[in-house]
Amino acid sequence: MNIGKLPEPVLLRSVLRQVGHRRSEVIAGPAVGVDCAALKAGENEIFVLSTDPITGTVKDLGSHCIHVTANDLAASGAEPVGVMLTMLLPPCIEEPEIRQIMQDAEKTCASLNMEILGGHTEITRAVEQPLITVTGIGRMREEAFLDPARIKPGQDVVITKWIGLEATTILAKEKETELLSRFSPEFIRKAREFDQYLSVVPDARAAIGSGVCWMHDITEGGVFGALWEVASAGNTGLEIELKAIPIRQETVEICEFFDLNPYQIMSSGSMLIVAEDGRKVTEALKNAGIPAAVVGRTTEGNDRILRNGGEVRYLDRPHTDELYKVM
């Protein structure tokens, strides 16, 4: 396609016409010549904003980008409302690919009761593959906002579902040919289908009424990075049982195949929760059909300790995400 903004006919039929889900508080949404969205805010409500560039995958990009940003909003305790999409697309892209990205984004938004509020689409030589930056908007009661000042020593640390889900599904989709040299098609199919777990919006909804002090979506840098960030946000130490951290066997084996550390790899779909009573939180999650485990506690001081049986080590500062070694 030609460099520059999408031609208006393409914009209309393959972008704007793919957006249909609507919410009552949206006053102005996406349209030709409209550069801003407008939303009403209720009394004593606040809007929460988040933004993410999606660079780790091309397959199922439209769906993936919505989940990543919705998860950030949900982790703050907010109800995700909508997104603005900035799509930078390479000249080699064809219109059906653009339409598919938008259809996937719209389907995912509708499943989460979110709305695509607007954005920008452009063909540019600055990128070699589609790059989407998503700005998300959520709303919540002001008093319910999860401030990291709530994190104190002596609280439980909970992890939902399993770490490494995001990286596992990306690798199974993007590196299928290589994986077939060792694994069966059925094994790879199961790993690909981990994308069904990428949303932590249900996790947040189930946990929020159970004495949650803080929530953090485990994304780039993996669970080790998320643990470091939570301790830094709360200015506490940590004691974590490595064997208590939930992980799927498919993730373990795929990471072994590529010589990657599963504890330092993209893990959207798994939420890290700090709570006064971790068992109460895990019970609420279990009642919602979401597995979760208490993996440790916050502590006095700054030591961030990982225990693995009788072995003790200290958590390192976050490293570059392991996924980038092979992507």
- The DSSP element (H or E) to which 123 belongs, if any, is strand 115-123
The pLDDT value given to residue 37: 62
Q: What is the mean pLDDT of residues 248-277?
A: 97
What is the rounded average pLDDT of the residues 9-31? 79
Q: Per the structure block, which two tokens stand in for 274?
A: 């700090």
Average pLDDT value for residue range 209-220: 92
Specify the pLDDT at position 36: 59
pTM score of the predicted model: 0.85
The winner for highest mean pLDDT among 8-12, 199-203, 317-321 is: 199-203
**pLDDT, tens digit (0-9, with 9 covering 90-100), for 129-167:** 999 999 999 988 888 888 888 999 999 999 999 999 999
3-state helix, strand, coil in the chain (%, to 5): 40, 25, 35
The predicted model gives 175-181 an average pLDDT of: 97
Task: Specify the pLDDT at position 177.
Answer: 96
Q: Tell me: the pLDDT tens digits for 74-132?
A: 998 999 999 999 999 999 999 999 999 999 999 999 999 999 999 999 999 999 999 99
Please tell us whether the domain made up of 148-325 is placed in CATH 2.40.128.720.
no
- Could you tell me which CATH class the domain 4-144 is placed in? alpha beta
Domain boundaries, the chain: 4-144, 148-325
